[in-house]
């Protein structure tokens, strides 16, 4: 295949990718622009790299997955991020979600329990000149108290309930988006809005994520 045909094919796949996002309910213009700017390709390696522009979750290292793009888009949209926001992500994974957040927020902190994933994600952030992301190896269930409070928190692993330490690190007026439910069953994607009078919950849709685990991953 010639380079020209290859470029045309890639452009077509990217156009179909954005169309799939819109058809699944990702309609926020800033989110769509961020997802157009951040190519999913570099975040998907090896055997599955050919499927980077399909709307499906794919395996990555350490037994983890890169989320389905439409779910990434819906979670990002639900956060309603403003350009001044400081965002905490629990579960760096491939780094794809953090890269999209970096196009929307002032500052992104992302945590993963697997050192290898953090190291690989940092390398991609460097290549893409995403210098507003701080990626750390840590136990995400404790959050990042040193940098709290956060305007927005996103958790890309399923907990039985929104973790108390993370809710405590969310600013009043802030939003948290996460999947909740037992790890071996269908989970619900929820949005938590922290108000002066308490917590408001919105249930968004059924999803399936890896479980939120305590401690650091074994390398």
Which residues are designated catalytic? 67
Q: Which of 102, 146, 90 is nearest to 126 (CA)?
A: 102
Compute the CA torsion angle 162, 165, 170, 172 (nearest 10 deg).
90
Q: Do 60 and 94 contact (CB within 8 A), yes or no?
A: yes
Which alpha helices (DSSP H) does 38-160 contain, by range? 69-79, 96-102, 115-127
The answer to whether 144 touches 196, Cβ cutoff 8 Å, is: no
Q: Which residues contact 181 (CB under 8 A, 6 or more apart)?
A: 158, 160, 187, 188
CA–CA distance, 213 with 206 (Å, rounded to integer): 20
Count CB neighbours of 61 within 10 A. Answer: 13
187: burial class by Cβ within 10 Å (0-12, 13-18, 19+)? buried
């Amino acid at each position: 295949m010639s380079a020209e045909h290859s470029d045309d094919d890639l452009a077509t796949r990217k156009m179909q990718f954005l169309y799939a996002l819109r058809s699944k309910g990702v309609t926020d213009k800033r989110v769509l622009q961020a997802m157009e700017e951040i190519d999913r390709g570099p975040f998907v390696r090896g055997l599955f790299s050919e499927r980077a522009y399909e709307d499906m979750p794919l395996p990555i290292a350490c037994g983890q997955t890169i989320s389905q793009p439409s779910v990434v888009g819906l979670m990002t949209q639900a956060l309603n991020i403003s350009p001044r926001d400081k965002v905490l992500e629990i579960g760096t994974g491939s780094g794809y979600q953090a890269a999209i957040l970096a196009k929307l927020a002032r500052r992104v902190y992302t945590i993963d329990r697997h050192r290898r994933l953090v190291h690989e994600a940092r390398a991609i952030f460097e290549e893409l000149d995403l210098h507003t992301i701080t990626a750390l190896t840590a136990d995400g269930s404790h959050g990042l108290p040193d940098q709290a409070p956060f305007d927005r928190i996103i958790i890309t692993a399923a907990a039985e309930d929104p973790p108390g330490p993370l809710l405590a690190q969310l600013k009043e007026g802030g939003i948290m988006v996460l999947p909740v439910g037992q790890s071996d069953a269908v989970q619900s994607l929820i949005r938590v809005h922290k108000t002066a009078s308490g917590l408001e919950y919105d249930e968004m849709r059924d999803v399936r994520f890896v479980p939120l685990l305590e401690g650091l991953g074994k390398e």
